[in-house]
Every structure is written in C-alpha cells, then in structure tokens.
Amino acid sequence: MEAQFEKLYSELRKTREELQDKLKDENGSKLIKPIIKAELMDIETAIEKIVNGTYGRCEISGELIPFDLLQSFPTAKTVNDFQALQKYYRKPFWS
C-alpha cells in the first residue's frame, strides 16, 4: 500500500465502522439507512482498491485522480465524479 494512501485507508476503515454501527442502531431513521448502505458500499470498494493497488485511478479513463481531490472525496471512482460535484459547490459569501 502506498504511503500516501495509508491515512486515507485508516480514515475509510474508521468511517466504515461508524456507518456499520449506524445501520445496527434500531432507533435510526429507516429513510436514511439506504443512503448509509450505499455510502458503505462505496467505502468498501475504495478500501478494496487501496488493498489491491488500484485506488486513485479513474474507472473510465485509467488516469490518476489527483490526491488532493481524493482527500476531499475518497470514494470517488472517476474524474467525472468531481465535475459533477462542482455543480453543487458554492463559493462562500465571505472570504
């Protein structure tokens, strides 16, 4: 595993545990659980890619995804994921 991905790997594993706990919570919202399950599947995929050495490559083009982008969106699968995310990004009112 590449050194730069070790911290991301640790954070993804921690997040996976937190999401698994939320799914087990009987008092949790039934409306939110499908969203948690989908995020958990994305995290599992990212962890698997880190372990097998394919993490950080666009699934469409094969190009490397910039590490700084992966730090902000570690479950991204393609470069297009970031383009879609920018549609929802809003510049703050104050700098």
Percent of the chain with pLDDT over 70: 89
Place of tokens 């083009």: 61
pLDDT at 86 over 80: no
pLDDT at 37 over 70: yes
Q: What is the mean pLDDT of the chain?
A: 87
DSSP secondary structure string for all residues of 12-63: HHHHHHHHHHHHH-TTS-TTTHHHHHHHHHHHHHHHHHHHHT-TTB-TTT-P
Per-residue pLDDT band for 28 (boundaries 50, 70, 90) equals confident
Look up the pTM and report it.
Answer: 0.81
pLDDT at 4 over 60: yes
Distance separating alpha carbons of residues 81 and 73, to the nearest angstrom: 9
Domains and CATH numbers, the chain: 3-86 (1.20.120.910)
